[in-house]
Structure formats: structure tokens, C-alpha cells
Homo-oligomer: A and B are copies of this chain.
């Protein structure tokens, strides 16, 4: 890798030295952007791309916003030209008319991003660039279309077919493990001893997706515990003094944490492939595994209980009933399940399998859900059906047990409402 880097900097040094017309050092960034778009020589293109990335790296936040706006506005679509070429293609469909249309229909920003990507290491820099861009899109809607262009190209480049699944374990390099510690988003990894407990025991697994052009950067990873039976407590699962079991003795694989690593890839679907791939992989390696579940937080439960006036300190069975009711019945404005974690797993084809109280007794767990957690079940034989049912009809697949709990929960909630009515 570093040899390639050396060679490249040699090329680029030469390249930059020999660009009289661009006069890189005296050019403005917009001039460099236009030069990159107009040129077709790859070597000078690489030199310009390097210049643009280097300048970007030195920009402060306002300058970066200016850069994005320049791309958003100057490299936007030309609607008149789109219409003109579209008319011509419609009139005379053919190679040349289609080529002209296709070129016009896409804003030049997309070609710019592709040309920046020529530079070895460019992909990672573009992902970091979009991370910055996402920090602006809410307040600066004129950058939204640019973001969609990034997303469109990333969707094509980070296609499942290009991703590589790799195990993360105690034979993984410290440099990569540093990143796992940094990126864990669900149950924070305190230190190397904590990490060792999650990666080294024979009944623990971790897998990540990588892209070949960013080999040192995990994109998303999932942590797995192999257990006997479906666990109902994250603290028990991660206990320091627990006894490990032989992998062959496990009947259940528990996906207890899944973390996206690259903010710049927001909106690019990676997680659903990951869980399914890992489940299939483990099913082959360990034929005794029969059940594939998550042990997931219910992040919005407490807030919803407060909103609906159920915020009395509830525990045990009652909490389980209310949590099940929330999961099966609470909807967002758009009519979809209110809980984002749940939407993710239902969208993958999972079903709501079990609900537990006293399952996450950490401060965070108690605050967000009164300690309740949920298992989503990945039944490899039913995920397609579940997915289709959820995608087309909004059907939430759930076990009988959970449906019964939810039914009880509904009664509690309506009693509550009944109780409250007199106060009107």
C-alpha cells in the first residue's frame, strides 16, 4: 500500500510540475473544479483531484459550506438543456441522442465526484466529505440535491456485490480494533479488557463489511453471542465473570449490537445484508444453531410512555405488556412503527419475538425504556415473506407471546384512559 502511495506521490509531483495551463497554485478552487471536469487526461486529473482534496482539507467550516454551495449551484442541472436533449432523443431515439441526453440529465457534480474518485484513496476522502456535507443539509436545503448525488454514487459503489465480509477477532490488528472501540454505538466498549471479552471467547463473534478501496475502515459491524436459549438481559450477556460455552453447544446466535461506522455513508443500506449474511454464515459453520435473534434496545419507549401518560414507574410484567403494545401499535405520523430500531429489523424481514423487562439495567437502558429490551427473530425461511408483508402492507410479524402481551398492554392503556376521563 505504501509503495503504491510513494509511486503515486511521485506521479503527482511530476504531474503538478508539468501543468502550465492550470497553474495550480494560482488557480482558484472553482477553476480547479472546472479543469478537472473539462480535462480527460487521467494523470493531470489525478493531480487536480489531489489539489482539490488538499485544499478542502485546509478549509474551515464556512469555507467548506462555500465549496459545497459552489458545487450545488454552479454544477447544477441545466433544465433547458435537459429538455432540449430529451426532445431530440424522443424524436430520434439512437446512440448519439441518448448519449447527449444522458450527459445533460445528470448534473456535472456527479461526474466531478467520479473524477475525484480516480485518486487512490479518493473514496475515503469523498465519504468524509459527505459526512461534513450532512452537517449542513438541514440548515442549507440548497445542498440537499448535492447530497443526493453523493448518495446516488455511493449506493452504486458500495453495492453489496462489492463489499467484503470479514471476521473481527483477537487476531485482528490493533489498528482496526481501535476503530471498533471508537465506532461501537450501542453498548460502549470501555477499554481493551472489555473488547477482549467481546472478541476473544470462543462463544463470541464479530463481523464487519469492508470496501476494497478502504481496506482499513470497517463500514458496519455486528457483535454476536452464541448462547443456549434466547437471552433476556444484556448485562448477563456481557458479564465479566460469565462462563463461556463451546460454540458447538450453542443453539442460538444473538446479534446484540450493530454499529454503522461511516457517517458519510448515511442512507446507504448495509445492515440488512450484514445480519443475513452473518446468520447464513454461522448456520453453515455451526449446524446446531437453530435460532437467530437480536437483543435490541427500545429507545423511544420511555418518551412514548410519558407522552401517553403511562410514565409511572412500571416494572416486570406490566412493563413487558406496555412495551409489546408500543412495538405493535405505536405509529409515527407516516403510519409506520414509531421505533427506528424496530423499523430497521422489520424492514429486514425479522419478527418481534420476545419482550423482556429488567433487560438493560444501565442508566441509559433505564432512562430510555425502563430497562425493557426486545428480541427480533431472523428466521431465514421467513424473512422474505416478513419483509414483503411489512413493505407492502405494513404488517408487523410477531410471536403469539408478544401479541398476547400487546393485547394486555392495550387493555392497560385503555384502562388508563378510562381512569383519566373523569378528570376531563
How many Å from the CB of A46 to the closest CB on chain B?
8
Q: Is A186 an interface residue (CB 8 A)?
A: no
Q: In the complex, what distance in Å separates the CA atom of A82 from the CA atom of B311? A: 50
Interface contact A349-B43, CB-CB below 8 Å:
yes
Overall SS of chain A's interface:
helix
Q: Residue on B with the closest CB to A146?
A: B98
Interface contact A43-B384, CB-CB below 8 Å:
yes
Interface contact B170-A196, CB-CB below 8 Å:
no
Q: Is A313 an interface residue (CB 8 A)?
A: no
Q: Is A55 an interface residue (CB 8 A)?
A: no
Q: In the complex, what distance in Å separates the CA atom of A171 from the CA atom of B1? A: 13
A residues touching B (Cβ–Cβ < 8 Å)? 4, 6-8, 10-11, 14-15, 17-21, 39-44, 46-47, 77, 79, 82-83, 86, 89-90, 93-95, 98-99, 101-102, 105-106, 114, 117-123, 137, 141-142, 144-145, 147-149, 152-153, 155-157, 159-162, 164-165, 170-175, 177-178, 191-192, 195-196, 199-200, 212-213, 269, 272-273, 276-277, 280-281, 283-284, 347-349, 380-385, 387-388, 391
Q: Residue on B with the closest CB to A270?
A: B42
Interface contact B95-A161, CB-CB below 8 Å:
no
Partner of A95, one of B8, B145, B155, B384: B145
Q: Which residues of B contact A171 (CB under 8 A)?
A: 173-175
How many Å from the CB of A204 to the closest CB on chain B?
13
Q: Which residues of B contact A142 (CB under 8 A)?
A: 93
Interface contact A170-B173, CB-CB below 8 Å:
yes
The 30 sampled A-B contact pairs (Cβ below 8 Å) are: A4-B165, A7-B281, A14-B381, A18-B385, A19-B384, A40-B347, A41-B387, A43-B276, A77-B89, A77-B101, A82-B82, A93-B145, A95-B145, A98-B145, A102-B149, A105-B106, A106-B106, A114-B155, A114-B159, A118-B161, A119-B161, A120-B161, A123-B162, A153-B156, A157-B157, A164-B212, A170-B174, A170-B175, A171-B174, A175-B200
Interface contact B174-A196, CB-CB below 8 Å:
yes
Q: In the complex, what distance in Å separates the CA atom of A192 from the CA atom of B297? A: 30
Q: Residue on B with the closest CB to A387?
A: B41
How many Å from the CB of A178 to the closest CB on chain B?
8
How many Å from the CB of A117 to the closest CB on chain B?
5
Q: In the complex, what distance in Å separates the CA atom of A17 from the CA atom of B212? A: 32
How many Å from the CB of A49 to the closest CB on chain B?
9
Q: Which residues of B contact A114 (CB under 8 A)?
A: 155-156, 159
Q: In the complex, what distance in Å separates the CA atom of A292 from the CA atom of B200? A: 39
Q: In the complex, what distance in Å separates the CA atom of A380 from the CA atom of B13? A: 11
Partner of A14, one of B144, B165, B380: B380
Q: Residue on B with the closest CB to A181?
A: B192
Interface contact B172-A349, CB-CB below 8 Å:
no
Q: Which residues of B contact A199 (CB under 8 A)?
A: 174
Interface contact B105-A391, CB-CB below 8 Å:
no
Q: Which residues of B contact A149 (CB under 8 A)?
A: 102
